[in-house]
Structure 1
Amino acid sequence: MAVEITGQVIRGYELREQLGAGGMGAVYRAYQAAVGREVAVKVILPAFANQLEFIRRFETEAQLVARLEHPFIVPLFDYWRDLEGAYLVMRLFRGGSLRGALEDGKRYSPEATLQLLDQIAGALVVAHRNNVIHRDLKPDNILLDDDGNAFLTDFGIAKATAAKNTDGDDDEEEGLAGSPGYMSPEQITLSPVTPRTDIYSLGVILYELFTGTHPFSNSSTTELIVHHLNDPLPDLTLSAPEFPYALNEVIQRATAKDPDDRYPDVLTLAAALRQALQADDRISLDDVRFSTAEFELFAVNPYKGLRPFEEADAADFYGRETLVSLLLERLQATSAEARFLAVVGPSGSGKSSVVKAGVLPALRMGAIPGSERWFIAEFVPGTDPLQALEAALLSIAVTPPTSPLKQALRTQQRGLLDAAAQILPPDGELLLVIDQFEEVFTLLESEAERAHFLHLLRVAVITPGSRLRLIVTLRADFYDRPLNYEGFGALMRVRTEVVLPLSTEELERAISAPAERVGLWIEPALIAAVVGDVREEPGALPLLQYVLTEVYERRDGRTLTLAAYQASGGALGALARRADELYAQMDAPSQAITRQMFLRLVTLGEGAEDTRRRVLRSELTAITRDQALEDVLNLFGKYRLLSFDRDTKTREPTIEVAHEALIREWSRLREWLFSSRADVRTQRNLASSAGDWVANQRDDSYLLNGSRLTSFDEWATGTDLALTPLEHDYLNASRTHGEREKQAEIAQAAYEAQLQKQANQRLILLVAVLAAAFIGALVLSLFAFNQSQAAQDERNNAQTQVAIAATAAYDAQTQQSITEREAAIARSLALAASADQL
Structure 2
Amino acid sequence: MLQAAGDCLSIVIVLRADFFGKCSLYEKLAQQIEQNMVIVTPLSYEQIKATIVQPAQKVGLTCEPNLVYTMLLDVIGAPGELPLLQYTLLELWQRRQIAANSDAAYLTLDAYTELGGVRGTLQKRATEIFYSLSLEEQSVAKRIFLALTQLGEGTEDTRRRVFKAELVNSAFSRELVEQTLEKLVAAKLVVTNQSEIWLSEGENLANISSAEKALAVASFAQAWLCQETIDVAHEALIRNWSLLRGWLDENREVLRRQRRIEQVAQEWNNVGQPKGVEYLLRGGRLIDAEDFLSHYSDDLSALAQRYITVSQEESYRARKELRSLQIAVPSVLLVALLVTFNQYRTAVQTQAEKDYQLQVSTSRERARSPSQFFKNQTATQWQRC
Normalising by structure 1, what TM-score?
A: 0.38
Q: Are 1:790 and 2:364 matched, yes or no?
A: yes
More helix by share: 2
Residue of structure 2 in register with 1:654 after alignment: 229
Residue of structure 2 in register with 1:367 after alignment: none
Matches within 5 A, 1:585-604: 585-604=132-151
Distance between the aligned counterparts of 2:241 and 2:119, measured in 1? Answer: 11
**1:490–1:744 CA distance, 2 compared to 1 (3 A):** closer
Equivalent residue letter for 1:555: R
Equivalent residue letter for 1:548: L
Distance between the aligned counterparts of 1:700 and 1:531, measured in 2? Answer: 59
Of residues 299, 322, 328 in structure 2, which corresponds to 1:745? 322
Residue of structure 2 in register with 1:107 after alignment: none
Distance between the aligned counterparts of 1:487 and 1:646, measured in 2? Answer: 28
In 1, are the aligned partners of 2:190 and 2:232 still within 8 Å (CA)?
yes
**1:658–1:627 CA distance, 2 compared to 1 (3 A):** same
Residue of structure 1 in register with 2:303 after alignment: 726
Of residues 232, 243, 250 in structure 2, which corresponds to 1:668? 243
**1:788–1:480 CA distance, 2 compared to 1 (3 A):** closer
Equivalent residue letter for 1:657: V
SS at match of 2:38: strand
Q: Deviations over 1:761-789 (max 9, x none)?
A: 322332343344344x24xx324422431
Residue of structure 2 in register with 1:633 after alignment: 181
In 2, are the aligned partners of 1:596 and 1:721 still within 8 Å (CA)?
no
Q: Which has the higher contact order (CA 8 A, sep 6+)?
A: 2
Equivalent residue letter for 2:52: I
**1:738–1:637 CA distance, 2 compared to 1 (3 A):** same
Residue of structure 2 in register with 1:681 after alignment: 256
In 2, are the aligned partners of 1:523 and 1:562 still within 8 Å (CA)?
yes
Residue of structure 2 in register with 1:574 after alignment: 121
Residue of structure 1 in register with 2:83 after alignment: 542
In 2, are the aligned partners of 1:417 and 1:468 still within 8 Å (CA)?
no
Distance between the aligned counterparts of 2:296 and 2:196, measured in 1? Answer: 33
**1:553–1:767 CA distance, 2 compared to 1 (3 A):** farther
In 2, are the aligned partners of 1:483 and 1:492 still within 8 Å (CA)?
no
Matches within 5 A, 1:774-785: 774-775=351-352, 777-778=353-354, 781-785=355-359
Deviation at 1:733, TM superposition (A): 0.5
Distance between the aligned counterparts of 1:728 and 1:782, measured in 2? Answer: 76
Deviation at 1:743, TM superposition (A): 0.6
Distance between the aligned counterparts of 1:478 and 1:565, measured in 2? Answer: 34
SS at match of 1:471: coil
Distance between the aligned counterparts of 2:304 and 2:20, measured in 1? Answer: 34
In 2, are the aligned partners of 1:679 and 1:721 still within 8 Å (CA)?
no
Q: Are 1:695 and 2:270 matched, yes or no?
A: yes
Q: Are 1:472 and 2:20 matched, yes or no?
A: no
Equivalent residue letter for 1:723: L
**1:654–1:485 CA distance, 2 compared to 1 (3 A):** closer
Deviation at 1:599, TM superposition (A): 1.9
In 1, are the aligned partners of 2:129 and 2:187 still within 8 Å (CA)?
no
Of residues 339, 347, 351 in structure 2, which corresponds to 1:762? 339
Equivalent residue letter for 2:126: A
Q: Are 1:514 and 2:100 matched, yes or no?
A: no
Of residues 360, 374, 377 in structure 2, which corresponds to 1:801? 374
SS at match of 1:659: coil
In 2, are the aligned partners of 1:619 and 1:724 still within 8 Å (CA)?
yes
Residue of structure 1 in register with 2:157 after alignment: 610
SS at match of 2:299: coil
Equivalent residue pairs, number: 348
Matches within 5 A, 1:327-346: none
Residue of structure 2 in register with 1:157 after alignment: none
In 2, are the aligned partners of 1:602 and 1:610 still within 8 Å (CA)?
yes
SS at match of 1:606: coil
SS at match of 1:655: strand
Distance between the aligned counterparts of 2:273 and 2:29, measured in 1? Answer: 37
Q: Are 1:417 and 2:3 matched, yes or no?
A: yes
Residue of structure 2 in register with 1:526 after alignment: 67
Matches within 5 A, 1:78-477: 416-418=2-4, 420=5, 460=6, 466-477=7-18
Distance between the aligned counterparts of 1:802 and 1:468, measured in 2? Answer: 127
- For structure 1, the 5+ residue unaligned runs are 1-414, 421-459, 461-465, 817-838
Distance between the aligned counterparts of 1:540 and 1:618, measured in 2? Answer: 32
- For structure 2, the 5+ residue unaligned runs are 99-104, 198-224
SS at match of 1:646: strand
Of residues 553, 558, 563 in structure 1, which corresponds to 2:110? 563
Q: Deviations over 1:81-104 (max 9, x none)?
A: xxxxxxxxxxxxxxxxxxxxxxxx
Deviation at 1:612, TM superposition (A): 1.3
Distance between the aligned counterparts of 1:621 and 1:700, measured in 2? Answer: 24
Higher CA-based Rg:
1
SS at match of 2:300: coil
Distance between the aligned counterparts of 2:80 and 2:177, measured in 1? Answer: 31
Distance between the aligned counterparts of 2:300 and 2:175, measured in 1? Answer: 18
In 2, are the aligned partners of 1:603 and 1:610 still within 8 Å (CA)?
yes
Q: Deviations over 1:721-774 (max 9, x none)?
A: 521221111100000011011111112222323322332332233234334434
Deviation at 1:473, TM superposition (A): 1.5
Residue of structure 2 in register with 1:499 after alignment: 40
Equivalent residue letter for 1:417: Q
In 2, are the aligned partners of 1:593 and 1:629 still within 8 Å (CA)?
yes
Equivalent residue letter for 1:762: V
**1:794–1:648 CA distance, 2 compared to 1 (3 A):** closer
Deviation at 1:586, TM superposition (A): 4.2
Q: Deviations over 1:249-294 (max 9, x none)?
A: xxxxxxxxxxxxxxxxxxxxxxxxxxxxxxxxxxxxxxxxxxxxxx
Equivalent residue letter for 2:284: S
Normalising by structure 2, what TM-score?
A: 0.79
**1:498–1:417 CA distance, 2 compared to 1 (3 A):** closer
Distance between the aligned counterparts of 1:758 and 1:610, measured in 2? Answer: 65
In 2, are the aligned partners of 1:504 and 1:535 still within 8 Å (CA)?
yes
Distance between the aligned counterparts of 1:490 and 1:628, measured in 2? Answer: 45
Deviation at 1:674, TM superposition (A): 3.0
Distance between the aligned counterparts of 1:735 and 1:488, measured in 2? Answer: 40
SS at match of 2:117: coil
Deviation at 1:485, TM superposition (A): 6.2
Distance between the aligned counterparts of 1:715 and 1:804, measured in 2? Answer: 106
Distance between the aligned counterparts of 2:90 and 2:328, measured in 1? Answer: 74
Equivalent residue letter for 2:312: R
Give the alignment's Cα RMSD to 1 decimal: 3.1
Deviation at 1:531, TM superposition (A): 1.9
